[in-house]
Structure 1
Amino acid sequence: MSIKVNLDIVLSERNMKSKELAEIIGITEANLSILKSGKAKAIRFSTLEAICKALDCQPSDILEYIED
C-alpha cells in the first residue's frame, strides 16, 4: 500500500496509549489497531477529524504517501 500510517509515532510523541485514544474518539481498540497497522481499506473523515483533534495534529502527521 502506498499510504503509510504513522499513528504509533504521534501517539508516542503525545505519551498516549491506543486504548486512551480509542476511548476519546469513540472506536474500538480493535478498529484502531487495524488502522494503526495499515490494514484498513478506508478511514472516515469524521474518524480522521476526531484523531487529529484528540492528538492536536494534522492529517499529514499520521498519513504519509510513499511512492512505490
Structure 2
Amino acid sequence: MIIIRLDRILADRKVKLSELANEIDITIANLSNLKTGKVKAIRFSTLDAICKALDCQPADIIEYVEDEHN
C-alpha cells in the first residue's frame, strides 16, 4: 500500500497547503486530494515541483507499507 505523507512534510516545513499550491501552480483541491490520499496517480512533474518547493525527496512524501491483508 502506498501512503502519502505530504501533510507531515508540510507541517515539518511550516508551509500551508495554499502556499504550496500557489508556488507549484496547482489547485488547492487537487493538492488536498493528494494530501489525503484520494488520488490514484501523481505526475512526475507534480512530484518534482513539490520536492523542489519543499526541498525534499520523493521518499519523504510517498511511503510504501506492506498491506497486512495480502
TM-score interval, smaller chain: over 0.9
* Number of residues of Structure 1 aligned to a counterpart in Structure 2: 67
Q: Which letter does structure 2 place at the counterpart of 1:51?
A: I
Q: Percent of counterpart pairs with the same letter?
A: 66
Q: Which letter does structure 1 place at the counterpart of 2:51?
A: C
CA positional deviation for 1:60: 0.1
Counterparts of 1:1-40 in structure 2 under 5 Å?
Answer: 2-40=1-39
Regions of 4+ moved over 6 Å: none
State TM-score, norm by structure 1: 0.97
CA positional deviation for 1:58: 0.1
Partner of 1:53: 52
Q: Measure the CA separation in 1 of the matches of 2:26 and 2:15.
A: 15
- Unaligned 5+ runs, structure 2: none
CA positional deviation for 1:26: 0.6
- Unaligned 5+ runs, structure 1: none
State TM-score, norm by structure 2: 0.94
